[in-house]
Amino acid sequence: MAEYKAPVRDMQFVLYEMLDFESHYAALPGGEDFSRDVVEAIMEENAKFCENVLAPLNAIGDEEGCQWNEGVVTTPTGFKEAYTQYVDAGWPSMCHSPEYGGQGLPESLGTVLSEMAGSANWSWCMYPGLTHGAMKTLELHGTEDQKQVYLTKLVEGSWTGTMCLTEPHCGTDLGMLRTRAEPNEDGSYKISGTKIFISAGEHDLTENIVHIVLARLPDAPEGTKGISLFIVPKFLPNAEGSIGERNAVNCGSIEHKMGIHGNATAVLNFDSAKGFLIGPPNKGLNCMFTFMNNARLGTACQGLAHAEVGYQLSSRYAKERLQMRSLSGPKNPEGPADPIIVHPDVRRMLLTQRAFAEGGRMLIYYAAQQVDIQHYAEKGSEADTNADELLALLTPIAKAFLTETGFESSNLGMQCFGGHGYIREWGAEQNVRDCRISMLYEGTTGIQALDLLGRKVLLTQGETLKRFTKVIHKFCEAHKDQEEYKEFIDVLANYNKEWGELTMHIGLTAMENPEEVGAAAVDYLMYSGYVTLAYLWARAAIVAMQASGDESFYQAKIHTARFYFQRLLPRTATHVATIKSGANNLMAMDDSLF
């Protein structure tokens, strides 16, 4: 019963009417190849693949899961065939360099395509999804030989990639990792250790898997300063690039999980496996951040995907399900009851999901635009610096805020179904289970919040934040005298001012007690997320107010913007009050009393 329809019209609105991707693409090298007609044709084809091939496999993947047998992992029925179609159609190479077999389209287009694939079937999407991070890491930090051997195969799609960070005794604290890398005489390394929670770590979709692994050299310093990065392939490549002997890496087991059953979350054992250094020794974490930041924006897209799916499922159901009568009189007098969409509380749940899904799309596409600029701009230029700092601020906000609100939305989607939401056939409960991991992997909400407040804001003395609040300020100034927009602009301007004041308050209290940073961090991130989406919803509302034609689409956009400003944005008051209550109510109680 769970059906996915790619929201192509809304994607077009964000890309072309709101963020002016037509001019953005035209300004990029080779922009004549990224015309709106070309991009929209690609989107339409991808939508067909996601709707007709991936979405029908979503429930199958959840029901069957992956099967482990003596180190061999079999993916659910249809997954391998879908991957073959994906490769044959050229999707893996779409947004990668032609130098290594790619088609050279902008990375932001890859974000749009990934949203569709992830919404249709997140478990399947993770197999090629993590590969893009491996490709980016190799592209930026690998040698030319490594690129020719590994990157070309990853771009082609015949091999996939993973990210191997976590170990049984350490999660986020990578300074504690123990995996060893001992030099061989031929310049390679013997990698030994165990990595856990490795998404797509073992499977039957491709002939080879390229693991990107963090490990320590024998003379490495303690902590995060002593981590290096290595390529460890499942099969060692021959000189001509084909696969050769099996490497000493094996899948010890796969996890039994709450959700994303169709993706194999593996325990990988490295037993003196042959590996190859990427980047400088002891600088592996710096190189891995390329992969991690890519994955964090990808996980933000997961929050959007589950909000979108929850909304699609529940809005269709709400129009059909008959229950009770409207308090203002029957709306379906010929039937035994009214459809539940007439009830205010159901509309509250639907509009919340819609506001977070459509607002999340705006945020992710805005961030993707900065990724394009960062990729193509001259290094050290104002455009490069601006995009880099905007991404530094927006990445933790997008990852944490959109996964938190995505989970809220998936729960509300399930709630709209009443008791039927608890039943598998409708797809709503799977959406909830699949979504829950998004707040955990690639850095929990708490870790993202500390990164935002501690590293990105306070450590830069607010300069990174100011770069974005100036963007909002200029937008408000441009529209402050236009009466028809005051319901958005005046409110947004006040929140933008408060954001700076709240940051100053935390900075001052943290000078007296450093625990204030940790105590405020999550509330600060959520506050930041609500204000960021307010800026984007204000932009969307003004575009919709100025547009002509397609009246129902634009009216819905304006109504949803008003709902966001009047019903969701006020949640910030609670976050402000909580931050200002201070750290003492968290830290004063003795540990023994817990």
- Among all residues, which ones are annotated catalytic? 442
Q: What's the CA gap between 197 and 199, in Å, rounded? A: 6
For 375, the 3-state DSSP assignment is: helix
Written as one letter, the residue type at 133 is G
Could you tell me if 387 and 334 are in contact, meaning their C-beta atoms sit under 8 angstroms apart?
Answer: no
Could you tell me if 572 and 527 are in contact, meaning their C-beta atoms sit under 8 angstroms apart?
Answer: yes
Measure the CA angle with vertex 578, ends 494 and 525; round to 5°: 65
Give strand ranges (E) for 375-483: none
Could you tell me if 434 and 559 are in contact, meaning their C-beta atoms sit under 8 angstroms apart?
Answer: no
Q: What's the CA gap between 342 and 345, in Å, rounded? A: 9
Here the tokens at position 343 are 């009830």
Could you tell me if 274 and 188 are in contact, meaning their C-beta atoms sit under 8 angstroms apart?
Answer: yes
Closest CA to 126 of 288, 285, 305: 305
Q: How many residues does the chain have?
A: 594
Tokens 């129902």, located at residue: 552
User: Residue 232 belongs to what H/E stretch?
Assistant: strand 228-233
Could you tell me the CA-to-CA distances from 407 to 9, 48, 376, 412 in Å, in that order? 24, 26, 34, 9
Q: What's the CA gap between 278 and 390, in Å, rounded? A: 27
Written as one letter, the residue type at 62 is D
Handedness of CA 295, 536, 37, 383 (dihedral sign): negative
Could you tell me the CA-to-CA distances from 19 to 25, 80, 181, 383, 540 in Å, in that order? 11, 36, 46, 17, 9
Show contacts of 72-76: CB within 8 Å, 24+ apart.
Answer: 72/202, 72/204, 72/251, 73/202, 73/203, 73/204, 73/251, 73/254, 73/264, 73/266, 74/204, 75/127, 75/203, 75/204, 75/205, 75/262, 75/264, 76/261, 76/262
Residue 382 has what DSSP assignment?
H
